[in-house]
Amino acid sequence: RTETMMPPRPNLFDFHGVSMIHYFTDNWENIQNFKARPDDVLIATYPKAGTTWVSYILDLLYFSQPDRQKSTPIHERVPFLEIHIPNFSSGIDLADSLHTSPRLIKTHLPVQLIPKSFWEQKCRVVYVARNAKDNVVSYFHFDRMNFVHPEPGDWNSFLQRFMDGKMVFGSWYDHVTGWWERKQSHPKLHYMFFEDMIEDTGREIDKLCSFLGLTSTAEQKEKIRHLAQFDNMKKDDMANYSTVNIMDFKISPFMRKGKVGDWKNHFTITQNEQFDEDYKKKMKNTTLQFRTEV
């Protein structure tokens, strides 16, 4: 598929104080009225923080049936709650039609926009965060190839827009700190980091199991750790989004690099200094800490 066959790029607009595009707000009434079930597990992230990786692992931990993983793309196994794109099943419809228990549901919404039913039902939530520098680099390449997002423009203007919070799903700074604050009062929220996953995936799988109350054996966990390695997921058409025709993989693959520290190949010295200075100001009131290398 060429660019001309892709849907037109949408515009960003302000939605309850968060930059959004219509594909994630068109179904808003159904999203806000979504009926969560007490055993639903919500996987919440800012875009490009490792959503697919953690979704893939959770799906394997709960449902290790070969035909499920071989025949159904990850975005159908783990519906994306707020997505509503013409000619695709909406996230709400997919979630409503899931017969599994639990249901694994993905969202990129900031904490204040999560449908209240998830809190009322006391669902477990897994939040994945990634350091801002690698997150923005990954987001830049994603917006180049994903035609349901606005044009990224050049790297320098994209970075500026990220710092200004003018991205789909709003400000990274508000997102990661908003969820971090919620964790302090919500016992069923597991806050995890992309960098920790890279450093020791097995350890992070163990932590997920204890949070979720899963009793997977060491052998099962080792198998899942292996299946969820970058190179294996990259080859898996049910995980690499190759079944989705809103992305142009010639521009950039979905499974792009999967590393900590790729930001060093993108930030100039000046950009890095300006970013760090601005970061300190934006993050001065939080105890949340990130690693930009491991």
Site for ligand A3P in 99-138 (CB under 6 A): 134, 138
Among 34, 53, 162, 193, binds ligand A3P (CB under 6 A): 53
Q: In 3D, which of 243, 189, 238 has the Cα closest to residue 212? A: 189
CB-CB contact of 261 with 133 (8 Å): no
User: Does the protein bind ligand A3P through residue 141 (CB under 6 A)?
Assistant: yes
What residue number has its CB nearest to ligand A3P?
258
CB atoms within 10 A of CB 191: 18
Q: Please give the DSSP secondary-structure letter assigned to residue 140.
A: H
Three-state DSSP state, 132 = helix
CB-CB contact of 49 with 191 (8 Å): no
Among 21, 43, 48, 159, binds ligand A3P (CB under 6 A): 48
Three-state DSSP state, 220 = helix
How far is 111 from 236, CA to CA, in rounded Å? 31
User: Does the protein bind ligand A3P through residue 152 (CB under 6 A)?
Assistant: no
Q: Is 108 a catalytic residue?
A: yes
For ligand A3P, the closer of residues 37 and 207 by Cβ is: 207
Q: Of residues 108, 141, 149, 190, which has the active-site annotation? A: 108
Site for ligand A3P in 225-244 (CB under 6 A): 228-230, 233
Three-state DSSP state, 9 = coil
User: Does the protein bind ligand A3P through residue 45 (CB under 6 A)?
Assistant: yes
Among 37, 186, 257, 291, binds ligand A3P (CB under 6 A): 257
For ligand A3P, the closer of residues 107 and 285 by Cβ is: 107
Q: Shortest distance, CB of residue 173 to ligand A3P, whole angstroms?
A: 17
Q: Shortest distance, CB of residue 122 to ligand A3P, whole angstroms?
A: 25
What are the strands of the beta sheet with 124-129, ordered from one edge? 104-107, 41-45, 124-129, 189-193
Q: Which residues participate in catalysis according to the annotation?
A: 108
